[in-house]
Chain A
């Protein structure tokens, strides 16, 4: 595997261009919307004079390009502004809310890969059988059901009606308080493992099951479908038939040789679908009251919190670009023909 300096430079430039583009677009859009964020900044009982001062403070009286100029300068210095709603630095807010989202998305992707890829392989091997038919129907359905609908249904059935699993929040606060759980990284599952706080770990696990399962449905369907299609292709390749003819047992030929040809492209397509999954995560977070970035962004949107809106959207863009860079690197690690 080789990652060349050209690749890193090229990707860094791309990242820079993406960020610049996203910031400008989102900035202009937020300023065009006729809202009065100075009212929010000044608070509910502000006088006219205070509101006027707030306008000045937020530089809303300046032309839009001046605002953009100052915003960009500060942005690249790491100062993403102060949230008009929480009155805390946007960057800190994002870092604060990020682990909840990352944890949710990571668990969802793990479920999607661990279940989706074997299902795809099974469908390919049993091509044309009823097993194949069932898996295909499920994967197409999974990739087309709206995630917010699924989230609400899952919550309604498994939490409200049956009461099997909690339907809100990441963890039960009482458990946290009783066991003296402290935050280390912000990933509750990880932190509770580090602290060997099993009560919190199990409680957090219970909380994450429903939302992560709901969120995993789309990437699971996608990876099952992709795996099936690619696997069928590989099974028809000369090299697969050669490996069988040369006497490599079918199981090894399938799960060691053929599967490796499938993994890289499936991961690549999951990477590309990451943006979509993140949108799904936002909706799931809202419905499950999951205190992550989606929740934060939604609150920002509802309260015209410009710096928070721009900050969180730009963050997602950066995130997306980095994820795809990682996908490239994984691809290069699997496929010796790919040089980055």
Chain B
């Protein structure tokens, strides 16, 4: 068996608001092996970022983790004190964000930011050495003219270049796990494909493990070995990306597949499925997708379906696939 880099078990997270508790993530489990990439796929508001932020221990203050474990290299991140975690943050665990332009402090050059990360995370104090590593990482991330990028302020660089710079920061520390929360959504289409290409290349060459967040199954098909379909905070289907694309089981996944925008297509539209997400402050009792599901039957509105292994390594939470329920 391969070494598991990340294991998320029964993760349940709510946001406390004045209008009541938002059940943003409910009983979600998945795992990532070394050198493997996993995609969290789901429409807007399904809790993908909440999961990613929980792993980074960067949830907003009104969030509360009710249950579950997040195990990175054998250690539970949720049962770690801040001091211990601060050693892991930005070292074993790094991240690239959706909006590259907003990820950099406008008053500091890219070089200053990356150098500070290296200084504190790799514990190097030699300025020349730091710069050397930084330039190498920038090159690795596919940037031309790395010296100029190093000395540039964020507003002097394009979104694509900044996203490559944040990739450089993230990989320069050799993380065990790279989290990428929709890293290409803010970029225009030709750039998207190039950045994905770069990430895939890095994954193959450096053996990076990646948790990739996207609402586009096409992106998942391109870069991810495994896929977890999430909807309104719950996992609906889980398995190898290939298998899910070839043999989608859950009605929601099928809908998603039909509305896949291609990488490089003119504009990336959100998948269109009739209806909208249920109110997460008051989620339905049975299957969370039932209100929008064309195939839903009585049981779907009453009993919450369990995640079952339908094929080896291919899991689905739908009554359709449990014996006896579907008469």
Which residues of A are interface residues toward B (Cβ below 8 A)?
237-250, 252, 256-258, 260-261, 334-337
Contact = CB atoms under 8 A, between A and B. Distances in A.
A204 to B, nearest CB: 38
5 contacts: A245-B56, A245-B89, A248-B120, A256-B116, A337-B106
B116 A252 contact: yes
A239 B120 contact: no
Interface string B305-319: 000000000000000
Contacts of A258: 105
- The main secondary structure of chain A at its interface with chain B is helix
Given A239-B105, A245-B95, A261-B106, 19 more contacts: A239-B102, A239-B104, A241-B58, A242-B103, A243-B116, A244-B58, A244-B89, A245-B58, A246-B117, A247-B89, A247-B121, A248-B90, A248-B116, A257-B105, A257-B108, A260-B108, A261-B105, A336-B153, A337-B153
Interface residues of B, number: 28
Contacts of A238: 97, 99, 102-103
Interface in B104-131: 104-108, 113, 116-117, 120-121
Q: Which 6 A-B pairs have the closest CB atoms?
A: A247-B90, A238-B102, A242-B103, A247-B121, A336-B153, A239-B105
A243 B105 CA distance: 8
Contact of A249 (B86, B99, B108): B86
A243 B170 CA distance: 11
A246 B58 contact: no
A260 B106 CA distance: 10
A305 B252 CA distance: 87
A243 B106 contact: no
B169 interface: yes
Interface in B70-116: 86, 89-91, 94-95, 97, 99, 102-108, 113, 116
B103 A239 contact: yes
Contact of A242 (B104, B107, B120, B155): B104
Contact of B107 (A244, A247, A248, A335): A335
A335 B104 CA distance: 14
A260 B105 CA distance: 10
B173 interface: yes
Contacts of B120: 247-249, 252
Nearest to A337: B155
Contacts of B113: 243, 246, 248
A334 B89 CA distance: 29
B91 A239 contact: no
| Centre residue among A239, A241, A245 by max chain B CB count within 10 A | A245
Contacts of A250: 86
Contacts of A260: 105, 107-108
Nearest to B166: A242
A245 B103 CA distance: 10
A248 B103 contact: no
A250 B83 CA distance: 11
